[in-house]
């Protein structure tokens, strides 16, 4: 029972660190240069982030899911606040223009979030900390 509780805590911590652009394993926040350039491995714990070839396709998926969730909640809130006189016209273009930045803003978070989810599905192994290239 205690082990299950510890696993839940660990899961929440991994996901929170991933969601907030930190290394899921150690919480190191120095992973990005500028906005989009992620380091290959964590400078603190040594985890190589691209664990397998094609690893980052999952981050694209995370970014797509997050962006659609924001879109659905944004539109729902907009319609609920303005109902029954939902304004159309220029508001649609303003909303679309602002919304276009969501995937760009969330891009680095999607990479660390996906790494956290990947670690939950495939726990880290010794090879994830070695210096060689990506295993086949």
Compute the distance between CA of residue 44 and CA of residue 26 in angstroms, rounded to an integer. Answer: 7
Nearer to Zn ion, 31 or 62 (CB): 31
> Shortest gap between Cβ of 116 and Zn ion (angstroms)?
11
Q: Which residue in 15, 16, 19, 28 binds Zn ion (CB under 5 A)?
A: 28
Q: Side-chain half-sphere of 87: how many Cα atoms within 13 Å?
A: 10
Q: Is 124 in the site for Zn ion (CB under 5 A)?
A: no
25 binds Zn ion (CB under 5 A): yes
In Å, what is the CA distance from 63 to each residue of 78, 106, 110, 130?
22, 7, 5, 28
Q: Residue 115: how many CB atoms within 10 A of its CB? A: 28
- The answer to the question of residue 26 lying near Zn ion (CB under 5 A) is yes
Site pattern 31..50 for Zn ion (x: CB under 5 A): -----------x-xx-----
- Provide, rounded to whole angstroms, the least separation between the CB of residue 10 and Zn ion: 15
Nearest to 119 by CA among 15, 22, 32: 15
Strand partners, 33: 37
Q: Per CB under 5 A, which of residues 56..115 are in contact with Zn ion?
A: none
- Given the rule CB under 5 A, which residues bind Zn ion? 23, 25-26, 28, 42, 44-45
């Amino acid at each position: 029972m205690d082990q299950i509780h510890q696993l839940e805590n660990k899961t929440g911590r991994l996901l929170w660190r991933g969601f907030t652009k930190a290394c899921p394993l150690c919480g190191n926040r120095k992973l990005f240069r500028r906005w989009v350039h992620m380091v290959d491995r964590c400078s603190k714990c040594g985890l190589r982030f691209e664990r397998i070839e094609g690893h980052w396709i999952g981050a694209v998926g995370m970014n797509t899911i997050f962006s659609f969730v924001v879109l659905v909640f944004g539109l729902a809130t907009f319609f609920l606040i303005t109902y029954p006189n939902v304004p159309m016209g220029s508001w649609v273009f303003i909303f679309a223009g602002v919304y276009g930045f969501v995937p760009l803003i969330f891009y680095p978070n999607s990479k660390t979030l996906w790494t956290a989810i990947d670690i939950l599905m495939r726990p880290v192994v010794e090879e994830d900390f070695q210096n060689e290239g990506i295993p086949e």
